[in-house]
Amino acid sequence: MKRYFLFLLFITSGLFALGAQPANYIWTSQSANSSESMPLGGGDIGMNVWVENGELFFYLSRTGSYDENNTLLKQGRFRVITEPSLFGNDVFFRQELHLNDGFMTVEGINGVITLWVDVFKPVVHVEAKTKTPSTLEVVYENWRVNDRPIRKVEGQQCSYKWALPKDIATKADVVNAGNNSLVFYHRNAEETVFDVSVAQQGLESVKDSLYNPLKNLTFGGKLSGSGLKYNGTKSDVYADTDYQGYIYQTEKKSRNHDFTITLYTDNGTEAQWNELLIASEKKIDTRKDKAATRKWWNEFWKRSWIESDSQEAADIARNYTLFRYMLGCNAYGKDPSKFNGGLFTFDPVYVDTKMPFTPDFRRWGGGTMTAQNQRLVYWPMLKSGDFDMMKSQFDFYNRLLPTVELRSKVYWNHDGACYTEQLENYGLPNPAEYGFKRPVEFDKGIEYNAWLEYQWDTVLEFCQMILDTKRYNNADISEYLPMIESVVTFFDEHYRQLASKRGRKDLDGDGNLIIYPGTACETYKMAHNPATTIAALRSVLESSGVKPDLLERIPEIPLRTLDGKEMIAPAKSWERVNNIETPQLYPIFPWRNYGVGRPDLDRAINTYSYDPDALKFRTHTGWKQDNIWAACLGLTDEAVDLTLKKMGNGPHRFPAFWGPGYDWTPDLNWGGSGMIGMQEMLMQEVDDQILLFPAWPANWDVSFKLHAAYNTTVAATLKDGKIVKLEVTPKEREKDVINWLEMKSQNK
């Protein structure tokens, strides 16, 4: 195919400076309740901020705050009131998220409150400036002052899900209200769901060798501020949940007030936790910390952007930016951003009126990582250049390596890392999905679950992400290579063992692995040679170079012909369809076997366009990837339709609070899949070629900067169907750029 290179005027990076400064996001009226909150965060802290009836509220969340049941608990809710009221009679109101600098202001007729979170220290800062001298009241509101029994459906928030033990409860926090400051924390009970899982899954003989992040875990923080004095408690109800408020007020009126909330998490003793909390607070240097935080956000926005002032694309470009901001709020957490709400969940009754539970509630668990969902949160970070933010997800898998390797040894006596799909933060399968009521003779290494049995291949997507960070950013991935090798070893060892139990030979007649029983996602069950597993193994083995002998044993991606059209098959064969995923399209994304500029494009388009299940399952909702596949195949009209639906405004006031979809609100895998689709519409890579606008409509003006392999960035502006600005860094990669809009017009 004839190549059409771009011969354009290459301009300096300074002309793209506007693209690196996102527009602030503004509300000019107060909110009705927490569902109309605006996100704020940094480092690994998230806040939902809103003003209701003249009072400022915020929920406070931090990654890693898992209780004994593995619920991801909030730190609490804070209420801020000035007297006289800063907001007056709502004559003037302005809540503004200053994206470029990473802070928020809430302004009323009588002054302004500024809120910001330190990116490098776990500290929240709140600063109030009023036009006339005023008093400040801060109320810390906690709904866990006593043990709270967990109701049946409410069990979804923790690892027990629908299999709740008798009399289970969320244990009470400790709240110590001092005269000038308040300390609050949760310390896990002696026995946690980890201990229950180990006993359930027959691993007590190796218990001491298993990773246990819940043991002795203490998390919480300290509220302190100049002039604040304790003024007692109050009890009330908010959004169906009773709470106790601890009131702190300033004794003297002033035009300037400020307070901080310092958080800390540790697995030591309570005394150690208190000492470390105090030491952490002493490290605060507000002026320097503020400057460092704003610099980080400034640099964050310079990495990449997508902007459009076209009427059709303006909202989806803005929502892309707002969602990327939400991901940036957990840049450096020990744990990855949770697909089912991240750090920004709010009172569940505003998501589903049938769920009047506490603000800690979310569906599909707190410490449970569902790989099919998590991957969509992290794939877009490659092209957005947010490589540093991917480390928390990679480290999550890497620190569980000894545990998952032990599972293989204990259950099957072979090598390799077996990462299950519903994986707890301690490395074992989710206990509810594993099954408390299992036949005695059932393989202890398998989840007794119709959806999750034999689903082990999703970890290969994270292996590929790790490998791609080296290709994109020349990252040092040496610490992850043992994990990658162990993952592929598992498939070789396990499926050869299973074949040997069925017959004399451990490979098929062509010398290939017999991947059976397998599964193509959660959908095509009891599958033989599923397309997802084969494409994944081939890609990771080719990219990593480990175990070249194994690569020779991986079978070809299965194909089939329906109504005279050749297509990718979900698997060579399968026994039942159990869900609504479309794994026959995974060789398009994430595995890149097919797509624009690649061989056999018609085969992939046939699969997308005519496969009966692909058509039946098609939607933009939640973790669905149809928008991505349409973009990867160059199907512009389909990509546009699905992207407008997926990245259009969500159902809540903040437009990037999508969901609940199949999971919860805000739905991070909804936003992640939307980001990926938009990136693919704008830019794709085929071997060393960079294709611009392969599925972007020519009549949508847009400016973008995205990352490509080999430390490459591409910044381009499309105006009236023409590329009017382009910058490729490094310059020698200009020769690899192809204007796909021009290519398509030439081929018409």
Place of tokens 């990773």: 211
- In the prediction, which pLDDT does 119 show? 98
- In the prediction, which pLDDT does 743 show? 83
Q: Average model confidence (pLDDT) for the chain?
A: 96
Residues of the chain with pLDDT > 70: what percent? 97
Q: What is the pLDDT of residues 640-667, one digit of tens each?
A: 999 999 999 999 999 999 999 999 999 9
Taking alpha carbons only, the member of 144, 50, 19 closest to residue 657 is: 50
Q: What is the pLDDT of residues 340-385, one digit of tens each?
A: 999 999 999 999 999 999 999 999 999 999 999 999 999 999 999 9
Question: Residue 221: is its pLDDT beyond 90?
Answer: yes
Q: What does the DSSP assignment read for 536-596?
A: HHHHHHHHH---HHHHTTPPPPPEEEETTEEEE-SEEE-SEE-S---GGGTTTTTT-SSST
> How far, CA to CA in Å, does 700 sit from each of 317, 320, 380, 651?
11, 16, 21, 25
- In the prediction, which pLDDT does 747 show? 73
Instruction: Provide the whole-model pTM.
Output: 0.96
> How far, CA to CA in Å, does 232 sit from each of 229, 244, 249, 252, 647?
10, 10, 10, 18, 46
For residue 19, what pLDDT band results from cuts at 50, 70 and 90? low
**Percentage helix, strand, coil, to 5, in the chain?**
30, 25, 40
Question: Residue 5: is its pLDDT beyond 70?
Answer: no
Question: Residue 15: is its pLDDT beyond 60?
Answer: no
> How far, CA to CA in Å, does 395 sit from each of 297, 370, 392?
23, 16, 5
For residue 11, what pLDDT band results from cuts at 50, 70 and 90? very low
Residues 389 and 299: their CA atoms lie apart, in Å, by 14
Residue type, 217: L
Give me 110's structure tokens. 């009588």
- In the prediction, which pLDDT does 655 show? 98
Residues 442 and 429: their CA atoms lie apart, in Å, by 15
For residue 745, what pLDDT band results from cuts at 50, 70 and 90? confident
Q: What is the pLDDT of residues 298-349, one digit of tens each?
A: 999 999 999 999 999 999 999 999 999 999 999 999 999 999 999 999 999 9
Q: What does the DSSP assignment read for 181-207?
A: EEEEEEE--SS-HHHHHHHHTT-GGGG
Question: Residue 741: is its pLDDT beyond 80?
Answer: yes
Residues 151 and 361: their CA atoms lie apart, in Å, by 11
Q: What is the pLDDT of residues 477-490, one digit of tens each?
A: 999 999 999 999 99
- Cα-based angle 131, 135, 138 (whole degrees, multiple of 5): 120
Question: Residue 700: is its pLDDT beyond 60?
Answer: yes
- Report phi then psi at 5, rounded to 5: -85, 155
For residue 28, what pLDDT band results from cuts at 50, 70 and 90? very high
Is 207 in contact with 426 (CB distance < 8 Å)? no
Residues 257 and 444: their CA atoms lie apart, in Å, by 59
The DSSP bridge partners found for residue 571 are: 530
Give me 577's structure tokens. 């369809």
Q: What does the DSSP assignment read for 322-363?
A: HHHHHHHTTSS-SSPPPTBTTT----GGGT-TT----TT--T
Residues of the chain with pLDDT > 90: what percent? 95
Question: Residue 712: is its pLDDT beyond 90?
Answer: yes
Starting at the edge strand that comes first in sequence, how are the strands of the sheet with 722-729 ordered? 305-307, 702-708, 712-719, 722-729
- In the prediction, which pLDDT does 319 show? 98
Is 378 in contact with 336 (CB distance < 8 Å)? yes
Question: Residue 1: is its pLDDT beyond 50?
Answer: no
All domains of the chain, ordered by start, with CATH? 1-22+624-630+638-748 (no CATH), 31-301 (2.70.98.50)
Q: What is the pLDDT of residues 413-470, one digit of tens each?
A: 999 999 999 999 999 999 999 999 999 999 999 999 999 999 999 999 999 999 999 9
For residue 720, what pLDDT band results from cuts at 50, 70 and 90? very high
Neighbours of 14 (CB within 10 A): 7
- In the prediction, which pLDDT does 436 show? 97
User: What is the average per-residue pLDDT within 149-165?
Assistant: 97
Question: Residue 209: is its pLDDT beyond 80?
Answer: yes
Give me 628's structure tokens. 């991505």
User: What is the average per-residue pLDDT within 672-689?
Assistant: 97
- In the prediction, which pLDDT does 744 show? 79
Is 456 in contact with 419 (CB distance < 8 Å)? yes
Residue type, 744: K
Q: What is the pLDDT of residues 562-621, one digit of tens each?
A: 999 999 999 999 999 999 999 999 999 999 999 999 999 999 999 999 999 999 999 999
Question: Residue 13: is its pLDDT beyond 80?
Answer: no
Residues 648 and 657: their CA atoms lie apart, in Å, by 11
The DSSP bridge partners found for residue 325 are: none
C-alpha R_g of the chain: 26
Give me 658's structure tokens. 């999508």
For residue 748, what pLDDT band results from cuts at 50, 70 and 90? low
Instruction: DSSP letter for 221, please.
Output: E
List the single range of 8-17, 71-80, 235-244, 336-345 with lowest mean pLDDT. Answer: 8-17
Instruction: DSSP letter for 621, please.
Output: S
- In the prediction, which pLDDT does 303 show? 97
User: What is the average per-residue pLDDT within 41-55?
Assistant: 97
Task: Tell me the torsion sign for CA atoms 377, 383, 384, 387.
Answer: positive
- In the prediction, which pLDDT does 18 show? 43
For residue 4, what pLDDT band results from cuts at 50, 70 and 90? very low
Residue type, 310: S
